[in-house]
Amino acid sequence: MSRYFLPVSGFDAKQFWEQRLQRDYSLKGVGYESLGKGFNYWLYRIRRHLFRQEVNGLGLQPAAAKVLDIGSGTGFYLTQLQSLGFRNVTGSDLTETAVGHLQQNFSGYQVVQMDISSGELPLEERFDLITCFDVLFHIVDDTRFDQAIANVARLLKPGGVFLFSDNFAHKEERRTHHVSRSRKDIETSLRKAGLEPGPTQAMFVLLNEPARSESGSIHNWWKGVVLFHRYLKPLGWLTGALLYPLEKSLLAQRSEGPSTLMMRCRKAT
């Protein structure tokens, strides 16, 4: 059976995420839900390590730089920016549920409800850095995806950095609430909006779905991980703890990998 699917017609992203976050406002709720809290803890430890490493390498002045985080969810990346000393940060999310929590938990930051794929945005200011993680592949409509990229470009200052994650698939894969677009299509959209694609960094090798891989053995490995932890969720923390050091080692020198990539783009000056 082919593993490529078409999205369900009429998919309502806002409703989907409102219901999911109302049910479980946690890293598991915004992460790999079926794997449980413990496994997701280690998934986000990897994200934390790579995000902080990348942001630290940008040469920004945290006290002065203006940052926008798109799809802030439970505030994971806002927490990382806060710990790195960034003071002028705007968080955003599609859902009322997330925005309500974020406004309470990050009172020192501005938080707005915003659909980045909309033709109208509530923001007029420009930013030195825009971050957008695990968001763009949930925009299933291609026209709205292009609009999202165009919006990012408009909100960036000349020379500003767009740091985001996507799957950069070798073959496009479409599901109900998820699209793995090809690198060519993503880079075409970026360039059309005036953003120059930059280097990538692999975000996972063993600890996430191998969306970019065409290897049957790698997909079978991941199916086994999911099946095992679906029924034995309490063991997820132990699995993640055992694999975390190996995952960091594998990622140390990898710009490409079988799963999600992080890309750094700049807007022309």
Average of pLDDT values for 171-182?
84
Predicted pLDDT of residue 12: 85
Specify the residue for token string 């609430």: 177
For 8-66, the pLDDT digits (tens) are 456 788 898 999 999 999 988 888 888 889 999 999 999 999 999 999 999 999 999 99
For 150-166, the pLDDT digits (tens) are 999 999 999 999 999 99
User: 269 pLDDT band (50/70/90 cuts)?
Assistant: confident
- In sequence order, the 6+-apart residues with CB closer than 8 A to the CB of 258 are 204, 205, 210, 211, 212, 213, 215, 218
Average of pLDDT values for 211-234?
90
Average of pLDDT values for 164-186?
89
Counting residues of the chain whose pLDDT is more than 70, the rounded percentage is 96
User: 1 pLDDT band (50/70/90 cuts)?
Assistant: very low
Question: SS3 sequence, 38-79?
Answer: HHHHHHHHHHHHHHHHHHHCCCCCCCCCEEEEECCCCCHHHH
Predicted pLDDT of residue 166: 97
| Assigned token pair, 49 | 């390590």
Counting residues of the chain whose pLDDT is more than 90, the rounded percentage is 81
228 pLDDT above the threshold of 60: yes
Predicted pLDDT of residue 99: 97
For 103-132, the pLDDT digits (tens) are 999 999 999 999 999 999 999 999 999 999
Predicted pLDDT of residue 9: 52
Predicted pLDDT of residue 230: 85
What are the beta bridge partners of residue 178?
175
* Long-range contact set of residues 219-225: C-beta below 8 Å, sequence gap at least 24: 225/35
Predicted pLDDT of residue 4: 37
Burial classification of residue 82, based on how many CB atoms lie within 10 Å of its CB (0-12 exposed, 13-18 middle, 19 or more buried): middle
Find the distance separating the first CA and the last CA of the chain, reported in whole Å: 48
Strands 127-132 and 156-166: parallel
Predicted pLDDT of residue 5: 40
- Rounded to whole angstroms, the Cα distance separating 73 from 69 reads 10
3 pLDDT above the threshold of 60: no
| Assigned token pair, 179 | 């699209």
Mean pLDDT computed over every residue of the chain: 92
Predicted pLDDT of residue 31: 86
220 pLDDT above the threshold of 50: yes
Which run of H or E residues covers position 190? Answer: helix 183-192
Residues in the chain: 269
Contact 175, 7 (CB under 8 A): yes
Predicted pLDDT of residue 10: 66
The DSSP secondary structure of 194-227, one letter per residue, reads: TEE---EEE--SSSS--TT---HHHHHHHHHHHH
CB atoms within 10 A of CB 168: 22
Q: Write the DSSP symbol of residue 161.
A: E
Average of pLDDT values for 200-210?
95
Average of pLDDT values for 234-261?
94
Predicted pLDDT of residue 2: 33
